[in-house]
Structures are given as structure tokens and as C-alpha cells.
Amino acid sequence: MNYENLLYERNDGLVRITINRPEKLNALNRETVSEIGAALTAFEADDQARALILTGSGSRAFVAGADIAELAEQSPRAAQEYALFGQGVLTRLERCRKATIAAVNGFALGGGLELAMACQIRVAAEDAYLGLPEVTLGLIPGFGGTQRLPRLVGRGKALEMIMTGDRIDAREALRIGLVNRVVPADQLLGICEKMARTIASRGPVAVQFAIEAVNRGLDVPVEEGMFIEAGLFGIVAATEDMLEGTQAFLEKRKAEFKGR
């Protein structure tokens, strides 16, 4: 597929999706969100692709927010429909059964932070700034920000960020648990690629089931989450990958996983 606002690259088992609207600081419009959904479909359908890195074009912004010119022209009904559309795409990203890593370069504001929060892992450059400034425009986050941010950093800190609209730097984001790591800007993609390759080298079925166990377990009482984990543990124990992994360990060699 040809994309107008994205770059889609696959190198061995790794896919990199780059939001490519540098003249707009990679701001999200409807077309870009739609293309993210299409790129995610391609990634999920590619049996050889095991990990995804999502980033923004250039050094100034991961995604600096929504396209305000587009938002300003929407009716209330259209705005609600657009929010539901964007939430659907980001929920698909959040529930992806393969590894997803946000490489946050520069500004990750509004929809940009919402996009990053939908990834499983977030790595930020030292010069990154993150925030949900929608209230400064008389709006609230619409792509899941009011739901994902409290789950990541807690209710109080999330409300502070959402109600003030203030941005925070990468070190503060690390301190409150919003990002996993902070790294030098010139090493961001290299470090994310190394992490992605490490994950891609692990048993792919096991990685998928681990993601599923965490995602499903977060929405239920811990006892039910334990039951979900045990069921998935039993299923993965019947895979060829489990046999290969345990045999490779006993034989002191590198496992060659097939994803079966």
C-alpha cells in the first residue's frame, strides 16, 4: 500500500512506521489516523513481522497533536464520530498481539501522546516533551487520553496534566512512569531497534500470549487474571516453540523459534 502521510519499512522481522508530516510537526488528521490503521493491519497480517517501532519524521516532533485546522471545522456530531474513529484505531494498536514500541522524539502532545500511550513500551529522547494540552483549546482528549493516562500514572497526576494542559519533560515522564526509558536523542532509534530485536528473538507465541495475559488481566479482578494466565500458560506449553525453547536450553544452544 502507498501511504501519503506515513513511511512503512520492514527490515527482517522489524517494522518501522514513521508519521511523515514534518511541515505540520506530524500532526494527526483523519487521513493520517486512517493510514495508521491500514499500516497496523499490514503489520498484524505479516507473519514475518514480530515487532513494531512507531516514531515521527524529523527531530522536532513525534506527533505534536491533532490537526487544529481540521478540528475547528467539525460539528459536535462529527467531532464525536472522529473521536470514536480515532479511539478504534488506537485500541487496535493497544491490543496488538505483537510488540509495539513508541520512539518519542521531540513533542508528543495531545493525539501524539495518546498514540504513544497506546503502544506497549515508550522510549523518549532526552529532549522530548509530553502532554495533553486540549483544555487550552477548550477541548478534552478524545483518543483515549482520559482513560490511558490515569492507568499509567495514577488519577491525581493524570488529572493535573489534563486539567492544566501543561507539558512535562522526558525526565519527569520517566519519574511518573509515563515512559519506560529516556535516552540521548541521537541514540533513540538505535536503542528502540535493539529492544525490538531482543523481543523479536524470543518465542513469538509466548510474546503474544504474555501480551494477551497482561491486557486481559488488567480489566478483571486479580483472581480472574490468574485464571487467564494459567489457561494461556497451558496453551503455550503445547506449542512447538515451547519444545524448541526448553530443548535448546538443555542443549545449551540458541533456540530457533518458528512461531508455532
Residue of 134, 172, 193, 224 marked active site:
134
Q: Residue 254: left (phi > 0), alpha (psi -120 to 50), or beta?
A: beta
Q: Give the three-state DSSP class for 23.
A: helix
Total number of residues shown for the chain:
260
Hunting for cell 515522564 — which residue is that?
173
Strand 168-169 relative to strand 14-19: parallel, antiparallel, unpaired?
Answer: unpaired
Residue of 70, 73, 94, 114 marked active site:
114
Q: Which residues contact 227 (CB under 8 A, 6 or more apart)?
A: none
Do 144 and 161 form a contact (C-beta atoms < 8 A)? no
Hunting for cell 517501532 — which residue is that?
53
Closest CA to 115 of 78, 65, 187: 65
Torsion of CA 107, 5, 181, 184, to 10 degrees: -70
Do 170 and 181 form a contact (C-beta atoms < 8 A)? no
Q: What cell does 209 get?
A: 500470549
Do 64 and 26 form a contact (C-beta atoms < 8 A)? yes
Q: What cell does 178 get?
A: 509515563
Judge whether 224 counts as a catalytic residue. no
What value, to the nearest 5°, has the Cα angle with vertex 125 and ends 120 and 129? 90
Judge whether 35 counts as a catalytic residue. no
Q: Give the three-state DSSP class for 174.
A: helix
- Residues serving a catalytic function are 114, 134
